[in-house]
Structure 1
Amino acid sequence: MRAAVLREHGEPLVIEEVERPEPDPEQVVVETEACGVCRSDWHAWQGDWEWVGAQAQPGQVLGHEPAGVVAEVGEDVETLREGDRVAVPFALSDGTCHHCRNGRANVCETVLPLGFASIAPGAFAEAFPVRAADYNAVKLPDGVDSVDMAALGCRFATAFHGLSHRADLSAGDWVAVHGCGGVGLSAVHIADALGANVVAVDIQQSKLDAAADLGADETLDASAVDNVGSHAKALAGGGVDLAVDGLGVAETCRNALDSLGRTGQHLQIGLTTSEEGGEIPLPTDAMVMKEIDFLGSFGMPPTRYDEIFRMVERGKLDPGAIVSETIALADVPDRVAAMSEFDTVGIPVVTEF
């Protein structure tokens, strides 16, 4: 089968023939209908995250935002059948550890990141295996489009988990989203759906326009002002209640923190590049004196996906609104490389394999 394979960090991904997976007893094999192209794929391509033991190695099939159809079922799988349509979170859990048993499978003790580990080949391919399928493969409601659901694997679900489960967000609160890529735009849309007032911050007008379309009440061109945090704070009338860093570079992280009012919350979604190496200096004394909370969001437990499905069913959320284009597998190397210049708006989704 065809797949997009990492052969050398920083060199174009290679579209080549690889062996089709066979399911282990607790696995299913999913035929890919759609897979988002995420900035995390760019990180893997660059060779980032060695500092947390998550560097993708040459030979890795990338792709971690999939939706598709169950094609083969392992003998020990109980809840899935061939033909079931599923979404799959990128953080593949074992379903048995303490965190999984307590509804926190996204931080499973033996988590395997789909598309980043050799034993978890990704979904930039005609098919891919799903570990502990009874736990990790989430059946899609009837009538939903796989393209619309692709980002549930990573960006949309991570933003939803951060805003709905990690942060203490109330209707009427002010939220500043710093960095309006795919996860940032998802955060804008979700925060608006949850009743918050949203300030969207970016350096590209096209992304700010997209944020406005998705519900941002205010937009701020970070390249046009000297003190981004102060300007975002002023737009919220004295400080935002929740600041989201959707990019993961030192500048956006600090700008987000600087936009907070007293007792505010900072939500870190973006992961760092090799320039930061996983470490960003923080104004810890000011955070203590203002009682600022610093939170992280990493994926979303698959047992809570029904919360998104209910909101989609009632028209309150539309993950498909963040999808910017559908592309072929052959286009993936160029789309991943374009993220070096931040040249993608929204979420490109692969639909031709």
Structure 2
Amino acid sequence: MRAVHVTAFGESPQVLDLPAPVPPTGGVVVDVELTGLCRSDFHAFAGHDDSVQIPYVPGHEFLGRISALGDDVAGWRVGQRVTAPFVCGCGDCRWCAAGQSQVCPHQSQPGFTYDGSWAEQVVVPAADHNLVAVPESLSAASVASLGCRFATAFRALQHRAQVRPGEVVAIFGCGGVGLSAVMLARALGAQVIAVDVAPGALELAAEVGAAREVNSSGLTPEEVAAAVRAAAITLASEPELGPGRDSRVAGTGPQVTLEALGRAETLEAALLSLDPLGRHVQVGLFSEVPRTLIPRVVALELTVLGSHGMAATDYPELLNLLVAGAVDPSVLVTRELELEQVPAALAAMAQGTEPGVAVIRP
């Protein structure tokens, strides 16, 4: 199979022919139709993730069809259209049994702990536990980011922060996860403030549901927080923007913040902007341990939540939103690449990420 092959961290990968994968016991091989290019892939490539061992094939969010079944796979057949979470559970532990495989202590991750989806084929282990059936009616572009970015944003807002209609939600960082969060928060009935340093990203955020945008370029965390609080107060005074708005949710800042970058100063700005009793959900991964404003968390009784992907058992709820037309992730896709274009696109991410979502067609 053709695949992107990384043989040294930070050095340009090659696109070459590798042996086709064999389905493991309990697992399947999937022919990849479309796969995502995510900021997490760059961090792995740059050597920021200790779970990644050289050499490897990147890629952790994908859509495809089952091409081969391993022994002991009971619920699937060749030809089915599927995706899978980027965190694959073992299927046997108590966390997986409870439908919480995103925190499985024996988890595996395509593109990190084993060869991923920047290839013509990828393996999904414990298929009966990790595979997600994808309706034929959905476009490939609308499903390609469900393995990571869109599903991660959905669980962070719906299941972790438990966003309620009429609340103000501030999204810090409008890359793939952040833009997904903007769209989903709006679909959940929230009023959304988008925060980013890039005008192009903020323009996209406005197109997919942000009611206010804050350009944080050159601002301190305190200045960003002040701008976000001002925007939240403005939104709270305009009930016509939120059908069914409950005036009791109005306050001095957003009720929910989500950080999608993994930067210490962005986390600080998010916590500084929150309304008393507010909820912060952390999605971005940090390369260094950040300073946390614990005194503020205690004084305002803030809730700080982590969110790490989404288990396969929770995907039907998200897929129902897509089928109903409540959200359309395909509008976030701004670039489609071939495998041969991936090495250059990966290297370019060292200088920043282009607005929108990039996908790869192997």
TM-score, normalised relative to structure 2: 0.92
Which residue does 1:20 correspond to in 2?
20
- TM-fit CA distance, 1:147: 2.4
Q: Which amino acid aligns with 1:85?
A: R
Alignment pair present for 1:88 and 2:88: no
Give the corresponding residue for 1:323.
Answer: 333
**Partners in 2 of 1:336 and 1:193 — Cα distance?**
32
CA shift, 1:225, in A, is 4.3
Of the three residues 151, 159, 175, the one matched with 2:169 is 175
Output the amino acid matched with 2:275: G
Whether 1:156 aligns to 2:135 is: no
Task: Give, in whole Å, the separation in 2 of the partners of 1:217 and 1:9.
Answer: 40
2:32 is the counterpart of 1:32: yes
CA contact (8 A) 1:248 1:272 kept: yes
Question: Paired residue for 1:282?
Answer: 292
Asked if structure 2 preserves the Cα contact closer than 8 Å seen for 1:322 and 1:346, the reply is yes
Partner deviation per Cα, 1:95-122 (whole Å, 9 max, x = no partner): 12111111111111201111101xx210
**Which runs of 5 or more residues in structure 2 are unaligned?**
234-251
> Shift in Å at residue 16 of structure 1?
1.7
* 2: CA distance, partners of 1:244 / 1:8: 33
Show CA shifts across 1:243-269 (max 9, x none): 111100111111111111111111111
Query: What residue number does 2:136 align with?
Result: 142
> The residue matched to 2:295 in structure 1 has which SS?
helix
1:99 and 1:105 in contact (8 A); partners too: yes
Matched residue type, 2:20: R
SS of residue paired to 1:112: coil
Answer yes or no: is the 8 Å Cα contact 1:338–1:344 preserved in 2: no
- Residue 266 of structure 2 corresponds to residue 256 of structure 1: no
Give the secondary structure class of the aligned counterpart of 1:169.
Answer: coil
- Say if 2:91 and 2:129, in contact at 8 Å, map to a contact too: yes
State the 1:180 CA deviation.
0.3
In the TM superposition, residue 142 of structure 1 has moved relative to its aligned partner by 2.3
What is the total number of aligned residue pairs between the two structures? Answer: 342
Once residues 268 and 344 of structure 2 are traced to their aligned partners in structure 1, the CA distance between those partners, rounded to angstroms, is 31
Letter in 1 for 2:69: V
Tell me how far apart the structure 2 counterparts of residues 258 and 148 of structure 1 sit (CA, whole Å): 34
Name the structure 2 match of 1:57.
Answer: 53
Tell me, in whole angstroms, the C-alpha distance in 2 between the residues paired with 1:331 and 1:8: 18
2:336 alignment partner AA: T
Alignment-derived partner of residue 213 in structure 2: 219
CA contact (8 A) 1:67 1:147 kept: no
Distance 1:337 1:173 in 2: 39
SS at match of 2:278: strand
- Contact 1:176-1:242 within 8 A present in 2 as well: yes
The answer (yes or no) to whether the contact 1:6–1:57 under 8 Å persists in 2 is no
Counterpart amino acid of residue 193 in structure 2: V
State the 1:224 CA deviation: 5.6
Supply the distance in 1 between the matched residues of 2:25 and 2:339 (Cα, whole angstroms).
29
CA contact (8 A) 2:175 2:353 kept: no
Instruction: Indicate the residue corresponding to 1:307 in structure 2.
Output: 317
Q: Which amino acid aligns with 1:127?
A: Q
What does the per-residue CA deviation read over 1:255-286, in whole Å, with 9 as the maximum and x for residues that have no partner? 1111111111111111113xx2xx10011011
Secondary structure of the corresponding residue to residue 145 of structure 2: helix
- Once the two structures are TM-superposed, the CA of residue 49 in structure 1 deviates from its matched residue by 2.8
- Identity between Structure 1 and Structure 2 (%): 39
Question: 1:100 maps to what in 2?
Answer: 96
**2:241: which partner in 1?**
none
Q: Distance in 2 between matches of 1:29 and 1:333?
A: 24
Assess if the C-alpha contact under 8 Å between 1:32 and 1:127 holds in 2.
yes
Following TM superposition, by how much is the alpha carbon of 1:141 offset from its aligned partner in structure 2, in angstroms? 1.1
Aligned to 1:109: 105
Distance in 2 (alpha carbons) for counterparts of 1:36 and 1:147 = 10
Q: Does 1:233 align with 2:243?
A: no
State yes or no: 1:68 paired with 2:78. no
Once residues 168 and 187 of structure 1 are traced to their aligned partners in structure 2, the CA distance between those partners, rounded to angstroms, is: 13
The corresponding residue for 2:283 is: 269
CA deviation map 1:125-174 (0-9, x unaligned): 01011100111111101211222211011010000010011113100111
- Aligned residue in 2 for 1:42: 42
- The residue correspondences of 1:184-199 to structure 2 (distance < 5 A) are 184-199=178-193
CA distance in 2, matches of 1:266, 1:337: 32
Q: What letter matches 2:10 in structure 1?
A: G
Q: Which amino acid aligns with 1:147?
A: A
Structure 1: segments with no counterpart, 5+ residues: none
